[in-house]
């Protein structure tokens, strides 16, 4: 008789491993934080503290949201249908100048609830008062890569840019050995950060061997601004500063050409694609198909709820596949498996977390979700990869395990008091309106 802490059985396992293994009538055994067994049920007796019946559904790696501003759930719908610079300068930055730690804690909790309920088990965050965002993630039990946003101007959290670097270093030192929390250095963008700040941020990142994360080449306005200021495109400006390297995660990369894509690849830069946000802000369509063909590591993100307006990676996958097909006028571009990899194993690679998560393999951390396929919109099922990208919804996720901990059981959140959280968020929205 085999014994485990948690067993998930009676489902089809999509491992998302390098071989593309798919196991019917599968079983996953978890001990502590890690996956200890994957295979087909063979009638052997199994003893486990917790047994999850997948009910002929799909057992798969949890999704990875490569770029968010989690606390902006509380700005959802605040300033819609505006260009990026108008949206930032006249609405978001002024609103953010008045937020506090309680706002960020509550907004991040709300984001964690939304993401767990829609199948995300890992996310990458950039925002203010990030120490409080980390606290919310830790309580929710979510795996996360997090960093304080750095600007040239004063922050309502840390004050001067110099203090921002010190604050980031304190986060790195505080959370360096945590099993689910990782810290990155996160200058906002080329139009809000001077070369000196960018270089200092990169040096901090390299010194502590943590990722450097930045918005890059998101809009034509940004490209024009950088060209006017420095005589170079955003990508080439970063290259001249010595910042393009394996530690850099570049979010968006909408306005890049073939030469720049090859430069990103050669320098080992990872890219996070945020299609719905780019569409809503009319920023453009990133050449993601070309990036993947070139060999750039590309993950998938939602961006923040003020520019998306949700954190559901299932809808993001659906949009990704269809957007690039119409851009290329080719229905074979960005097939379902390619897009699903962006939200799982390729997303993990982009964040430097593929040794921990992104696929179901023995020894990896147990970040697992179960999908209920006993629904009209998922019946019949000829190709599970296709169904997950084109038909499944976040609400089809029934169970979520993160780092070996069951955080959602039968659609019930176990680490967050959802009713109390929703009440608090509604009260906070009244202050925001005022």
More confident residue, 250 or 43: 250
pLDDT at 402: 99
Q: How confident is the model at residue 1 (pLDDT cuts 50, 70, 90)?
A: low
Q: For the chain, what percent of residues have pLDDT higher than 90?
A: 90
Cis? peptide before 155, omega within 30° of 0? no
Q: How confident is the model at residue 213 (pLDDT cuts 50, 70, 90)?
A: very high
pLDDT over threshold 80, residue 380? yes
The chain-wide mean pLDDT, for the chain, equals 96
Q: How confident is the model at residue 80 (pLDDT cuts 50, 70, 90)?
A: confident
pLDDT at 40: 94
Q: How confident is the model at residue 185 (pLDDT cuts 50, 70, 90)?
A: very high
Stretch(es) of the chain classified as CATH 2.30.40.10: 2-61+366-413
- Averaged pLDDT, 19-33: 97
The answer to which of 37-46, 110-119, 394-403 has the lowest mean pLDDT is 37-46
Q: How confident is the model at residue 77 (pLDDT cuts 50, 70, 90)?
A: confident
DSSP result, 370-403: EE---SGGG-S-S-HHHHHHHT--GGGEEEEEET
Dist CA 42 CA 25 (whole Å): 9
Give the strand pairing for 143-150 and 120-127: parallel
- Averaged pLDDT, 339-358: 98
Regarding pTM above 0.85, the answer is: yes
CB contact burial 131-154 (16+ within 10 A = b; e otherwise): bbbbbbbbebbbbbbbbbbbbbee
pLDDT over threshold 70, residue 204? yes
**Topology of the domain comprising 2-61+366-413:** Urease, subunit C; domain 1 (2.30.40)
Dist CA 207 CA 272 (whole Å): 23
- Averaged pLDDT, 169-174: 98
Give bridge partners of residue 51 from the DSSP assignment. Answer: 7
The CATH number assigned to the domain with range 63-350 reads 3.20.20.140
Stretch(es) of the chain classified as CATH 3.20.20.140: 63-350
- Averaged pLDDT, 184-200: 97
- Averaged pLDDT, 49-56: 97
- Averaged pLDDT, 64-72: 97
pLDDT over threshold 70, residue 101? yes
């Amino acid at each position: 008789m085999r014994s485990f802490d948690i067993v998930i059985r009676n489902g089809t396992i999509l491992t998302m491993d390098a071989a593309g293994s798919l196991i019917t009538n599968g079983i996953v055994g978890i001990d502590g934080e890690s996956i200890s067994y994957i295979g087909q049920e063979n009638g052997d007796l199994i003893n486990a503290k917790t047994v999850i019946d997948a009910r002929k559904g799909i057992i798969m790696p949890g999704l990875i949201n490569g770029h968010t501003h989690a606390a902006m759930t509380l700005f959802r719908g605040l300033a819609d249908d505006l260009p990026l610079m108008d949206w930032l300068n006249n609405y978001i930055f002024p609103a953010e100048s008045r937020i506090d730690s309680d706002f960020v804690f509550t907004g991040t909790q709300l984001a964690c609830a939304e993401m767990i309920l829609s199948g995300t088990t890992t996310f990458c965050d950039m925002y203010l008062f990030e120490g409080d965002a980390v606290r919310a993630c830790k309580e929710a039990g979510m795996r996360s890569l997090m960093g304080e946003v750095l600007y040239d101007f004063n922050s309502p959290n840390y004050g001067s840019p110099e203090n921002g670097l010190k604050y980031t270093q304190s986060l790195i030192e505080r959370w360096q050995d945590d099993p689910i929390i990782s810290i990155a250095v996160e200058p906002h963008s080329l139009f809000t950060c001077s070369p000196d700040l960018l270089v200092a941020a990169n040096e901090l990142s390299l010194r502590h061997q943590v990722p450097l994360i930045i918005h890059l080449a998101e809009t034509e306005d940004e490209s024009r601004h950088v060209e006017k200021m420095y005589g170079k495109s955003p990508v080439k400006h970063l290259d001249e500063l010595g910042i393009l390297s394996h530690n850099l995660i570049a979010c968006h990369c909408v306005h890049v050409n073939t030469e720049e894509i090859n430069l990103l690849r050669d320098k080992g830069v990872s890219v996070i694609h945020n299609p719905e946000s780019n569409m809503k802000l009319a920023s453009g369509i990133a050449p993601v198909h070309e990036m993947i063909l070139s060999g750039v590591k590309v993950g998938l993100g939602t961006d923040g709820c003020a520019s998306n307006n949700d954190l559901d990676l299932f809808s993001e996958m659906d949009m990704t596949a269809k957007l690039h097909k119409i851009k290329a006028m080719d229905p074979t571009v960005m097939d379902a498996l390619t897009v699903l990899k962006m939200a799982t194993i390729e997303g993990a690679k982009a964040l430097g977390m593929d040794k921990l998560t992104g696929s179901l393999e023995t020894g990896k951390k147990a970040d697992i979700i179960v999908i209920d396929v006993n629904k009209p919109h998922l019946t019949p099922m000829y190709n599970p990869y296709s169904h997950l990208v084109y038909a499944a919804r976040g609400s089809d996720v029934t169970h979520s395990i993160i780092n070996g901990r069951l955080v959602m059981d039968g659609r019930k959140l176990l680490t967050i008091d959802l009713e109390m959280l929703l009440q608090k968020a509604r009260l906070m929205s009244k202050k925001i309106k005022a």
